[in-house]
Every structure is written in C-alpha cells, then in structure tokens.
Amino acid sequence: MATWLEGSEESAVALMLKIAWNVSFRPWLWATAARTVLRAAPTGWYHTWPFLPIPDPDYLKFRLLTMYGSEGDEPAEINHKDVILWLEWCRQWPAMAS
C-alpha cells in the first residue's frame, strides 16, 4: 500500500507502476484506464511541467474520502488492487445503467 497525498514521491511512483503493471495484463481495462486518467486530469495539463495528467490534490482527497472514508490527520492508503476493482466497476457502469 502507498499513501498518495502525503507519502513520498517514491511510494506514489511505486503505486503507479503496480497499477500500470496490473492493467497491462487486462487489455479490456486499457481504454477504461486511459479515459479515467484523462477525465481526472485538470484542463490544460499538457501545458505545464511535468506534462502528465496528474489529478488535482483536492480531487484526490475527495476520491480517497469517498472510497476509504479517511478524513483528518491520517491519510488513506491506496491499494493497487482496489484501483483495479474500481476500473472494473467503471468499465461495467454503462452496461448497468441501461
């Protein structure tokens, strides 16, 4: 597990690599993961360094609160398996809505 917002950059990079590694073995999630990353990225992310679609910290805090219920001094820890399950849910959502 890695703390995203208040942990080290190394732990965030390790988490992102674990997520990318796990998604790479699930081709049915590739489009969902790409859409999710781009939707969470702030407008104009490609105009500022490091030219990566990194979500706004306030948005991440909101998502962590809604997913894990963590609030206050102790930040939530993100598990890469939870992210994969969430991507699966995002992929299935349009089918459930109809």
CA contacts within 13 A on the Cβ side of 70: 15
Q: Is the pLDDT of residue 73 over 60?
A: no
- Lowest pLDDT segment from 25-29, 75-79, 81-85: 75-79
pLDDT value at 71 more than 80: no
Q: Is the peptide bond before 50 cis (omega within 30 degrees of 0)?
A: yes
Who has greater pLDDT, 83 or 94?
83
CA distance 5 to 15: 12
Q: Is the pLDDT of residue 97 over 80?
A: no
Q: What is the mean pLDDT of residues 37-42?
A: 89
Whether 17 has a pLDDT exceeding 60, the answer reads: yes
Does residue 56 surpass a pLDDT of 90?
no
